[in-house]
């Protein structure tokens, strides 16, 4: 399973999370999470409801 898929699965179970919280929950380096979040935002699969928090684009 790709990192982006893991992030989407994690966010589907919660409201919104910060990148550090996502990295901690998935036990992955925060820099890798930041790259995946950037990719998901470009694909318009994630939104940022408030500064530094991310959730799924519904």
Containing structural domain, residue 39: 3-53
- Residue 21 within a domain: yes
The CATH number given to whatever domain includes residue 30 is 1.10.10
**What residue has token string 């408030």?**
50
Q: What is the mean predicted confidence (pLDDT) over 12-25?
A: 95
| Confidence (pLDDT) at 27 | 97
pTM exceeds 0.75:
yes
Query: Rounded to an integer, what distance in angstroms lies between the CA atom of residue 56 and that of residue 48?
Result: 9
pLDDT in tens, 28-45: 999 999 999 999 999 999
Closest by alpha carbon to 23, among 57, 56, 47, 54? Answer: 54
Number of domains in the chain: 1
Asked if residue 58 is part of any domain, the answer here is no
pLDDT > 90? residue 1: no
Q: Exposed, middle or buried: residue 11 (CB in 10 Å: 0-12, 13-18, 19+)?
A: buried
Asked if pLDDT for residue 58 goes beyond 90, the answer is no
Question: Which pLDDT value is given to residue 15?
Answer: 86
Q: Name 48's Cβ contacts closer than 8 Å, sequence gap at least 6.
A: 41, 54, 55
């Amino acid at each position: 399973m790709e990192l982006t898929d893991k992030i989407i699965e994690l966010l589907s179970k919660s409201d919104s999370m910060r990148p550090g919280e996502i990295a901690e929950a998935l036990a992955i380096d925060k820099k890798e999470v930041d790259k995946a979040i950037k990719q998901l935002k470009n694909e318009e699969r994630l939104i940022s409801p408030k500064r530094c928090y991310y959730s799924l684009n519904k």
